[in-house]
Amino acid sequence: MSDRYSSRRSDNQPHPRTTSSNRGSHPRAGHQVSESRFSRSQIEPDYPQRSYQQRAPQPQRRRRKRGSRDSRTSVFIGVLIIAAIVGGGIWFWLNRTVNVNVNGSSTEVRVNATLADVLQASGFTPQPGDLISVGGNVLEEGAGATFSASVNGQELDEDQLNDFRAKGSERIEFGDGADVTEPSHEEERETQPKMEPYERVGAITYVAQWPKVGKGVYTVGDVSGESVLKEETQPVQNLVIASINPQPEDGSKVIAITFDDGPSSYTQRYLDILDKYGIKATFFCLGPAAEANPELIQAIKNQGSQIASHTKSHGDPLSTLDADTLRSEISDAFASIEGAGGGATTVIRPPYGDFNNDTWLKSNGTLSASVIWNLDSEDWTLPGADAIVSNCTNGAYSGAIILMHDGGGNRDQDLEALPKIIENLQGQGYKFVTINELMAMDSNIPEDVASGNATMPEDCVWPTEMVESE
């Protein structure tokens, strides 16, 4: 705006100063401008001077132009030199060496050197760590971290070790490399329960704890394949079988009479005697005999005595049978008894009292309790009624289980002995209980087992292995 205004003014009102100013804008040396200023008042219009200028010698103008080009070149070169100096300076700055203190000795390294560079420059040779399995075993010696390091007293973690760049003056302490654990992944796994073996100390062995599968998250080594439990989500529950002579906890004086190998043609007379004295007993019945005599099974039940199983065949001892035969010996007899109206039971008396840890393991949860005896009548030897009575009463104690038979041969001696046995023991103050009632009197035996018909819960899995004894 002001330029346009001044330009207009110079057109309309030519002014010497403006003119000279215009002249001054012409490419001339400074002193010539001064000359024209001095001649400005004398020469008007200044035609001659202008013509002089137009006729100015060519070499001078050319020299002026070349000078301008030269100065540009000089500037350019100057800039290049400065750039080179600055660039070089930067390069030298970026690549300068600095001193760091490595394990007590001053070491010269390039600035921004990594710890590996510093280590190499120092000549120090730490012992590398090993590659370790998730289970803690050495998979490869020397395959762990190359070194460890602390800088200015601070131990560096893995990221810090990688990120370190030397700036100078750091105090670096190298140490041996750490062990590195193999790569791994997590898996959810089940642990099968095992059976904890029992020691036979009593007449009744029973399931004290049903077996349950354990679940847990495991860390599995990708190199070693080893697995380590990381978190247990469901603890494994081993099968626990216990052996006991039940003791009434209320201090009462009780005894249990049991009869094996029936029911038979003698059984009803046994029931009549029991009824006469108003007592109950337990009948361990054979499966086929129960099937053949359902009316006797029901008579036993109606009398209030307990019906349990003496298994099916009463052949070879159960411990000598293969697992399948063993299970059918047990299960089939239970089914026969229930089919005959005797009710559900999972309590057995093994023939010959033969039942051990291995038999329990093979039984696959088919039974809840195995009951033998404390006092043997030895009635099967037909020793005479008096002998049978003394066998059953001498040494009687509270919680004892008496063995007699209501089948398997001539039972006349038993029928003669039984009232005397009852009278003798009643005279000593004993009350007669069934096996279920006896089991219920000792809280060591779980309630479901004491009920006489406990079965393995659905979420349980019978073990196939015994816990190794140490």
Taking the least distance from each CB to Zn ion, the nearer of 209 and 374 is: 374
Taking the least distance from each CB to Zn ion, the nearer of 52 and 352 is: 352
One of 261, 332, 379, 437 touching Zn ion (CB under 5 A): 261
CB-based contacts of 166: which residues, under 8 Å, 6+ apart? 98, 100, 109, 110, 111, 112, 113, 114, 117, 118
Q: In angstroms, give the least distance from the CB of 255 to Zn ion.
A: 20
- Sign of the CA dihedral 215, 218, 222, 225? negative
Q: State the binding string over 305-344 for Zn ion (x if CB under 5 A, else -).
A: ----------------------------------------
Q: In angstroms, give the least distance from the CB of 456 to Zn ion.
A: 26
Strand, coil or helix: 285: strand
Q: What is the largest CA-CA distance in the chain?
A: 177
Question: What b/e readout covers 106-122, taking b as 16+ CB neighbours within 10 angstroms?
Answer: ebebeeebbbeebbebb
Distance CA 355, CA 337 (A): 21
Taking the least distance from each CB to Zn ion, the nearer of 342 and 351 is: 351
316 labelled catalytic: no
Helical (H) or strand (E) element with 47: helix 47-54
On the question of a cis peptide bond just before residue 235, with omega within 30 degrees of 0, the verdict is: no
Q: In angstroms, give the least distance from the CB of 314 to Zn ion.
A: 6
Taking the least distance from each CB to Zn ion, the nearer of 211 and 351 is: 351
Q: What is the footprint of Zn ion within residues 337-366 (CB under 5 A)?
A: 351
Contact 345, 300 (CB under 8 A): no
Taking the least distance from each CB to Zn ion, the nearer of 283 and 430 is: 283
Distance CA 239, CA 243 (A): 13
Q: What is the footprint of Zn ion within residues 236-255 (CB under 5 A)?
A: none
Q: In angstroms, give the least distance from the CB of 311 to Zn ion.
A: 9
Q: In angstroms, give the least distance from the CB of 380 to Zn ion.
A: 8
386 labelled catalytic: no
Kindly indicate which of the ranges 65-73, 75-83, 256-264, 325-333 contains the residues binding Zn ion, using the contact rule CB under 5 A.
256-264
Q: Which position has the token pair 């205004």?
A: 5
Asked if 406 is part of the footprint of Zn ion (rule: CB under 5 A), the reply reads no
Bridge-based pairing of strands 97-102 and 105-110 is: antiparallel
Q: In angstroms, give the least distance from the CB of 351 to Zn ion.
A: 5
CB-based contacts of 397: which residues, under 8 Å, 6+ apart? 374
Distance CA 368, CA 176 (A): 61
Contact 265, 410 (CB under 8 A): no
Q: In angstroms, give the least distance from the CB of 350 to Zn ion.
A: 9
Distance CA 192, CA 461 (A): 8
Question: What b/e readout covers 403-423, taking b as 16+ CB neighbours within 10 angstroms?
Answer: bbbbbbeebebbbebbebbbe
Taking the least distance from each CB to Zn ion, the nearer of 46 and 406 is: 406
Spot the catalytic one: 46, 130, 260, 261: 260
Q: In angstroms, give the least distance from the CB of 417 to Zn ion.
A: 18
Spot the catalytic one: 310, 405, 406, 414: 405
One of 46, 130, 182, 260 touching Zn ion (CB under 5 A): 260
| Beta strands per DSSP E along 235-321 | 239-244, 254-262, 282-285, 306-309
Please write down the long-range contacts of 373-377, taking CB distance under 8 Å and 24 or more positions apart. Answer: 373/203, 373/258, 373/401, 373/402, 373/403, 374/203, 374/245, 374/400, 374/401, 374/402, 375/400, 375/401, 375/402, 375/403, 376/403, 377/402, 377/403, 377/404, 377/405, 377/414, 377/417
Taking the least distance from each CB to Zn ion, the nearer of 311 and 398 is: 311
Taking the least distance from each CB to Zn ion, the nearer of 351 and 365 is: 351
Q: How many residues of this chain bind Zn ion (CB under 5 A)?
A: 3
Residues lying near Zn ion in the complex (CB under 5 A)? 260-261, 351
- Hey, which residues are catalytic here? 260, 405
